[in-house]
Structures are given as structure tokens and as C-alpha cells.
Structure 1
Amino acid sequence: MTMKISIERLGPRRMATLAVATLALFNAGCMVGPDYHRPQVRVPATYSELPGWTQAEPNASAPKGNWWTAFNDPLIDELEPLVVVSNQTVRADYANYQEALAEVRAAHASLFPTIGATGSATRERAGSGSVSSAGTLVNSAAARVVNSGSLEGNVSWAPDLWGQVRRTVEENAATAQSSEATLANATLSEQVALATAIIELRTTDANIDLLEKTVDAYQHYLDVVTEQDRAGTIAPSDVITARSQLNTAKSDLIALGVARAQYAHAIAVLVGKNPEELEVAHSAAMPALPSVPVGVPSTLLERRPDIAAAERKMAAQNAAIGVAVSAYYPEISLSGAAGFTQSPLSGLLKIANYVWSLGGSASETLFDGGLRSADVDAAKAAYDATVANYRGTVLGAFQNVEDDLSGLRILAEQADVLDAAVRDADRGAEIAFNEYQAGTVDYTTVATAQATQLSTRQTALNVQESRLLHAASLFGDLGGGWSTDELHDPRHPAAPAAAAAGSVQGGATSAGSGEEKVQ
């Protein structure tokens, strides 16, 4: 079936209306390739570590953007907001997201005609004079200078009859959303890393306090043993044992300075500062152990940015199949030009000098040795890979949450046992020293009791640290209050600006000059 449209008798206004209608008609054409549907994944009804948990907590109690405030630590509260604007990993992902938004705009531009204008002007000398045998110009009055010129507008357009451009826009838009989710995931990961580093630094400070008290106690024991040695009431080996015990504790205390410096340096880098710019003051207070509302497993699919990124990659690759399929269909392009040309130049814009042209072309590949078929098969295989990656990401997310919940549950039981163990170790060390002073036991018994006391207290502190680290990890594994509702659609003009405003605002860093000291 062939359709012809006669344009010779149409005026300029009707021709413009016809052009707009034709543009809308072509861009509303079919789109080849499969439409995207999110693949189903098996989601458990409950977490195995939460028996009887069947309903999510109300949204008001779910962790929001500032999830770190649950630790009630002033250093965490002060530094966490800097991650989004100063962390270099976040800034790199932000730049990648901006690049993806630009790719969407570039693809979207192909839906519209390309309009251009050209103009030219020429000045030349033309004459009909002749030259004599002596080489002189004869009849030079006939020579003249001519000015000529042209002004022309041109339009070219390849209508998206088969949806190749729209599938490309769809692919790039999904890729941009994946980049946006990757940015959110990088931000959350770096925020969790900062909370982890601060918890480890606080634990190191608590260990330092514990060893300082231990050194003071061991110094007192050594003084007592030294006085008894001068009185000749004990064996000289007791002094050596007490002194060795004291020096070992001092050595352990000094060694903690290395770990503390490394944690402080890591904290500075995570907030975009040079290590020498940030000095973290010693604190004896440990962060509070937060209570984390978990909800049902199905909410994890909406709250994990890495899951959203994997899902958007599926959508992008599904659209890529349509782009590959569109290569089977002919490529059609239209062109037109209109303008004025005149020689001489005077009177160029008169209607008598008006010229125009319309044209069209179509091309179709008849044989390519199976290239297009291979491209389609490759796109489908790549889509299958993204489906497997998405389902693997979901499974990994459930594993992460279950690991955190089991860790919190088991460590809570261990902490209860260790509380009793610490009390017994303290009492045992006190009794052993009293018995030594009474002369009923040797100093080896005292040293053993004191070593048990220190080891038990350090174990209890390490368990407290592990519980805090599992809580921080759980916040991250639950998405930190993020939601897929925060993803913008870059196909809408306002989306890129809104997305950029919600991400790295202004790109400003918070690293100042000089040294900053924080609590």
C-alpha cells in the first residue's frame, strides 16, 4: 500500500501543521523488541532470625536518611553529613551519574529533526574584454564586478518508525537510574564505613582506658611486691614476674596507638580531608547500641540501592534487545531545504529568488552474514546475565540481613555471659592478691588471676564492638532508609536538575585549611 501526499498547493502554515502532525505520527510508531517486566524472585515471608515476625514496622519508625543518629555519638553525628559532599568515591559516582544523564539527553535528541542554516556570498570580476597581440586589454569597459549570494535553511530527519531511538532512550534512562542507585549505594556504603571506623576508634579508646587502669594496678602490685622483697619475705622471682607483667601491659598500651592513628586517618579520608587536617579527641564513651526496626523481607527489594541498581540494569539491557532487533528494519530519512539565491546579490530575499527541495531515502540490509541475528542473541544473553545478577544480588541481600540479625542475637547472649565472667574475674583477681599478701599463695596465682581479668574485660569490650558493628552493617544492609521512590526519571526535563540537587549539592568539599579537632 502506497500513500502519497501532495504539497504543491499547501500554504506555509498548512505545511508547518502537516510537518508537526507527521512528526508526531512517526514518533508514535511501533517499538520492536520485548517490553520490560521485572522478573519474579522468591522472597521469604519472614526472616529466620526473627521468629513470628510477619509485619513491617510502621514507616515512621523505620530508619530514615540520618540513620546514624541512633548510635547517639557526637562524632558520628558531626562527620556523617560530610560524606555526601566530600567523599571522593561518592563524587566519582556522582560524576558517572551526570554522564549517564547527558547520555539520555543525547539519545532523546535523535527523536527530533536537525535544522540548519547556510549562507554564502561571492564577489567576482567578470568581463568580456579581449587582449591584443601586444598583451594589452582591449575594450576594458565591458569588464564588471558581480556580487552573488544565497541563504538557505535545511531540515533532515530520520523518523523513529521502529522505535530504535525510543528503545535507546529507554536503555539510557534505565542506565541513568542504575547510576543514580549506584550513587546512593556508594554513599550508604561510605557512611557505614565511616560509622564502622568511628566505632573501632571508640573501642580502641576504651581499650586504652582499660590498659591504663591495668598499668596503674600492675604498678601498685609491683610496689607491694618490691617492699616485700626488701623485707625478705618473698622469693626474688615474684618481683621479676610482677615487673614483666607491668612492662607487657605498657607495651600493649603503646601498640594501641598505631591502630588508633590508622582509624583516625581512615576517618579523615572518608570525609574528604587529609589525615593531618583532622584530629579526633580521645573519648571514654562508647556509642549506644541502637534498636533497628527490620520489617518484612519484601521491603528489602525497595530499600536496597544495590538491588535497585541491578534491577535497572535489567531494564536497560531489555531495551538493548529492542535496539538490536530494530536493525532488521529499513532506515528511512527525510530532508528538505528552502531559501533564496540571487546573482547579483541585490534583491536576494525577493519571492522570485525563492527555491526549495524535498527528498527522502530508505535503505535496507539484504544480507549481512548473520550479523544482526548474532547481535540480537548477544543482547538476549546479556539480559539473561543481568537477570542472574539481579537475583544473586537479592539473595546476597537476604544473606547480609540474616548474618547481621544472627550476629546481634548470638552476641547479645555472649554479652550476658561475659558480664558475669567479668564480675567473677574482678573478684578472683582481688581474692588472689589478698591471699598472696596473707602468704597463702605464690605470685603466680596472682599473675594468672590478673591476666584472666584483663583478658575477660578485653573480650567483653570486643563483643560490645562487634554488636555495634553488626548494628551499623544492618542499617546498611536494610538500605539505610533509602527507597526506590527516590529514583528520578531522566526522560522528564525536570528530573536531572532535581536529581542533581538531591545528590552532591554544589560539589563543595568541607576540607578546610589547618587542623580541625573534633570530639
Structure 2
Amino acid sequence: MSLRYLLAALLLILLTGCSLHRPQSVELPGNLPETFHQPQAQGMRPSPAQPWWTIFADPALDELINEAFAHNLDLAQALARLEQAEALRRTTGAARLPRLDLQGQTRREKSPGIFGEHTGTSYNLSLAAAYEVDLWQKLSKHERAADLDLRAAGADAQTLLLSLSARIADFYYLAAEQRSQRDLTDDNIAAFTDILQRVESRYRQGLVPALDVYQARQNLEAARARRPQYERGLAQAEHALAVLLGRYPGDLPTGTLMTLPAAPEAFPAGLPSELLAQRPDVSAALLRLEAADARIAAAVAERFPTFNLLAAYGYSRNAFITGDISGAFWNLILNAAQPLFDGGRRKAEVERNEALFRERLAAYHGSVIGAFQEVEDALAANFAGEEQIMHLEDQNRSTEAALRLALDRYLAGLADYLPVLAAQSAHVESQSLLLNARRRLISDRISLARALGGIWMAQELERHLTGITNQGIHQP
């Protein structure tokens, strides 16, 4: 009677399933702030479903980003990793299904007997099936972990799409700034050359000392010395762009931006509660944390008995000295195994996965806090950048007026050349700083858009996966 009760209890557990590990709850690192601390612009924030770079309304930038999405090698690696994760999920899920093998054997042998030697041929052919009963949900937890890893790989690819678009735009506008800096330097060289010629003319007339000529040449050569650094910066920016497009350095498409445009209007960051759902890197960290928890459950289940159903059906023919015996055969086996001693291997594996869970939990908390830091930093940079540009524009107007006045006084013979020299240096520096500040404000806009994330990356990733043929990969 007790044996029947035991079998009935085992059958009940088999039908309902049993998990030996309770999933661990995951909490955020403290309460989310209700608002961002840094000041932010008023107005309408771009839709998270809309690619962020459309705020620049630049068709050339659109083409570059689309080409990068098609040919970037880092993105190609991410898509290949996604394919690997999909294949691994299918491999892991296959362990939960029955296995069916076709087995065959033939042999010919010679053996002695009381009636003399006998030579005969024996063979058998059978179908063999095996199935592991997932009583403790070990296999299902392994499959869940693999599925979560696949989704995390998809989130990684979305993160790369977001960062790749930001890097393309950053280098695109950096190259535009370097061109503008180079053109500004050429204008200054032309202006300083004209001033030098006028000073030399006055020197030949005996109106000014030779010192004025040397000082005029000093400013001209300083301007000429600055030009190579902008050429170098432009070349490096264009090389970086080409590599991001999957090209060799120096192989850039035509239609580059020649002048630095004004930054687009500032946009608000929205609510902190919306941020985490739009950051794929945070989603990836959470998915890997959940996968680690599932692997704890699988490791715990490894310490409990395993049950395997084995079955075979086939036909055999065996040759004996007394004659051949042939016919069909079958067998059905229930195999149970309980680990008794393994040197602490299974226990250590549970502890390793628990430590991995704690590591992934810290990584998830770090990604959440880091996401908020990136938004706060970008907001602060945008606010400070706009204020800096306002002051630099005032400074540039002042240095331009000071240079004009100093030059007029010098040419009128009312002052020496030193005020002109100082005014020229101040105005050149002011112009260069203003250009740099305008480009950095564009970068700050890009950084804010990148920090806020979005949901357009999921659609872009789906488009890429649809284009992958012969694999059958799909976004989970």
C-alpha cells in the first residue's frame, strides 16, 4: 500500500512540476527621483519611436547613419552574436524534447561447438528513444536562461545602434567644425597678410619701426602654424567616420558638411520614470540578472534525482550453432539516479551561480544609476553650453570692435603696434572658442538624445534581422 502512495505522489509531482528555487525579487537601487535635478528646456520632447537625429534635418547625416547601419563591422559582430544566442536557445530547448535514434548492428562470427565450428551472421535494427523527465524544472530553467540571454543580446544590439548613430553624428559635426576652423584660419591669414603689407609699406616710408614689421609677421606665422592642426583634426575625424561606415580610412562619400550649423533647439528630458524603459543597456543588464537567477534554479535542481525514460523497438536475427533466432523485440526502462558524492561539485556550482547573481545585481544597479548620471550630465552640459555661447558671442563682438579700433588708431599714427597685436590674438582666440563651443553644444544635444535612449532601435533591429536570410533569426 505504501508503495502505491509513493508512486502516486511521484506522479502528482511529475504532472504539476516542482521548482526548488524561488525566483529572487529585483529592486531598484533606491526610489527613483521624481524629476531630474538639472534645469531642462521647455517644449515638446521628440517621440522615442522617432530616430533622434531627425531633429537636425540633415539628409547627408541621414545617409551616413543608414550606411553605418548597413556596413558597420561592430554591428555585424553584434548581429552574429545574436544569431549565436538564438542557436544556443534552440540547442538548450532541444534537451527538453524526446530523443529518437535509429540504431543498427551487424556482425559475422565463427565459433566452435560440440557439433563442430559454426559461422553465421547476426544483425539487429531498432528505434531507440530517450526522454529526461524534467521533474525539478532543471531543463526548463536552462531554457529560460538561454532565452533571457537571447533577449539580452538583442538589447545589446539596440544599444550599439544607439551609440553608433551618436558616434557618426559626433564625428560628422566634428569634421564640420574642423573645416570651419580651417576656413576661419585662412580668413585670418588673409587679413594678417594684408595688415603685414600695410605695416611694411609704412616701414618703408619711415613711419614705423622694424619692430612693428616683426610683430605683424609674428601674428601671421602664428595663424599659419594653427592651420595644420585643423587639417590633422579634419583628417582624423574623416578617418573615424570612414571606419564606422565599414570603409578604409580616407574613403568617404561625397557631400560632406562644409560649415558648422547651429545647434537644434533644446528639448526636455521628460520624466525619470520613463527613462529605464527606453534604455536598452539597462534592459540588457536586467535580463542577464534574471538569467543568472534561472541558472541558480537549474544548479539547485542538479543536486536532486534525475529520471530518464528509455525505450527501444526493433528486429533482430542472431545466428547460433543450433540455428538462427529472429523476431521483434522491445524494451521500456525507467532510469533513476541520485547524486551521492561528487566532491562538492554541485554545491560549488550553486554557490558560483549565486555569486554571479550578486555580480549581475550590482551591474544592473550600476547601469540604472549610470543612466541617470548620463542624463543629468547631458542636461548640465546643454545648459552650460548655451550660456557659454551667449558670453562668447558678446566677447567676439567686443574683440572685433577692439581690433578695428586698435588698427584704425595705429594706421592713423595715434598708437603703436602692440595694441593691434593684442587685439588680433584676442579676436582669433575668441572666434575659435566660439566655433568650438557651438560644436560642443551640438555634441551635448547628441549626448542628451543618446542618454534618453528610445524605442526606435527595436524597429531598426527587426529590419536588420528580417534581412538576414537562411538563418530564421527573429527578435524575441
Normalising by structure 2, report the TM-score: 0.88
Secondary structure (helix, strand or coil) at the match of 1:328 reads coil
Identity of aligned residues (%): 27
Note the C-alpha offset of 1:85. Answer: 2.5
d(CA) in 1 for partners of 2:21, 2:108: 56
Q: Does 1:186 align with 2:160?
A: yes
Aligned residue in 2 for 1:17: none
Structure 1 counterpart of 2:280, from 297, 305, 309: 305
| Per-residue CA distance 1:1-34 (angstroms, 9 max, x = gap) | 5459xxxxxxxxxxxxxxxxx9999475122212
Q: Does 1:47 align with 2:32?
A: no
Structure 1 counterpart of 2:331, from 354, 357, 377: 357
d(CA) in 1 for partners of 2:70, 2:183: 34
Note the C-alpha offset of 1:64. Answer: 3.4
Structure 1 counterpart of 2:54, from 48, 69, 89: 69
| Per-residue CA distance 1:183-233 (angstroms, 9 max, x = gap) | 111222122111111111111011011111111111110111111111111
Aligned residue in 2 for 1:317: 292
d(CA) in 2 for partners of 1:215, 1:412: 29
Matching residue's letter, 1:48: H
d(CA) in 2 for partners of 1:223, 1:284: 30
Asked if structure 2 preserves the Cα contact closer than 8 Å seen for 1:27 and 1:160, the reply is: no
Note the C-alpha offset of 1:342. Answer: 3.1
Structure 2 counterpart of 1:90, from 64, 75, 84: 75
Normalising by structure 1, report the TM-score: 0.81
Matching residue's letter, 1:297: P
Structure 1 counterpart of 2:371, from 381, 388, 397: 397
CA pair 121-353 structure 1, distance change in 2 beyond 3 A: same
| Per-residue CA distance 1:409-463 (angstroms, 9 max, x = gap) | 1111111111111111111111111111110111111111111111111111111
d(CA) in 1 for partners of 2:113, 2:96: 53
CA pair 145-415 structure 1, distance change in 2 beyond 3 A: same
d(CA) in 2 for partners of 1:367, 1:124: 42
d(CA) in 2 for partners of 1:499, 1:148: 58
Aligned residue in 2 for 1:512: none
Asked if structure 2 preserves the Cα contact closer than 8 Å seen for 1:57 and 1:294, the reply is: no
Structure 1 counterpart of 2:20, from 18, 29, 32: 32
| Per-residue CA distance 1:58-92 (angstroms, 9 max, x = gap) | 7xx32435221222334321110122231111222
Q: Does 1:445 align with 2:419?
A: yes
Asked if structure 2 preserves the Cα contact closer than 8 Å seen for 1:113 and 1:158, the reply is: yes
d(CA) in 2 for partners of 1:249, 1:303: 47
Structure 2 counterpart of 1:326, from 292, 296, 301: 301
| Per-residue CA distance 1:467-505 (angstroms, 9 max, x = gap) | 11111111111114447xx49xxxxxxxxxx97654484
Note the C-alpha offset of 1:377. Answer: 2.7
Aligned residue in 2 for 1:136: none
CA pair 262-24 structure 1, distance change in 2 beyond 3 A: farther
Aligned residue in 2 for 1:153: 127
d(CA) in 1 for partners of 2:76, 2:345: 40
| Per-residue CA distance 1:26-70 (angstroms, 9 max, x = gap) | 4751222122544234211111113798xx967xx3243522122
Q: Does 1:81 align with 2:71?
A: no
Aligned residue in 1 for 2:436: 462
Structure 1 counterpart of 2:210, from 218, 236, 253: 236
Q: Structure 2, unaligned stretches of length 5 or more?
A: 320-325, 470-476
d(CA) in 2 for partners of 1:417, 1:95: 49
Asked if structure 1 preserves the Cα contact closer than 8 Å seen for 2:238 and 2:250, the reply is: no
Asked if structure 2 preserves the Cα contact closer than 8 Å seen for 1:71 and 1:288, the reply is: no
Note the C-alpha offset of 1:177. Answer: 1.2
Secondary structure (helix, strand or coil) at the match of 2:315 reads strand
CA pair 427-357 structure 1, distance change in 2 beyond 3 A: same
Counterpart mapping for 1:197-208 below 5 A: 197-208=171-182
The CA RMSD measured in Å over matched residues stands at 3.2
Counterpart mapping for 1:169-180 below 5 A: 169-180=143-154
| Equivalenced residues, count | 460
Matching residue's letter, 2:63: E
Asked if structure 2 preserves the Cα contact closer than 8 Å seen for 1:340 and 1:354, the reply is: yes
Aligned residue in 2 for 1:134: none
Q: Does 1:217 align with 2:217?
A: no
Asked if structure 2 preserves the Cα contact closer than 8 Å seen for 1:34 and 1:319, the reply is: no
CA pair 328-259 structure 1, distance change in 2 beyond 3 A: same
Structure 1 counterpart of 2:356, from 374, 382, 398: 382
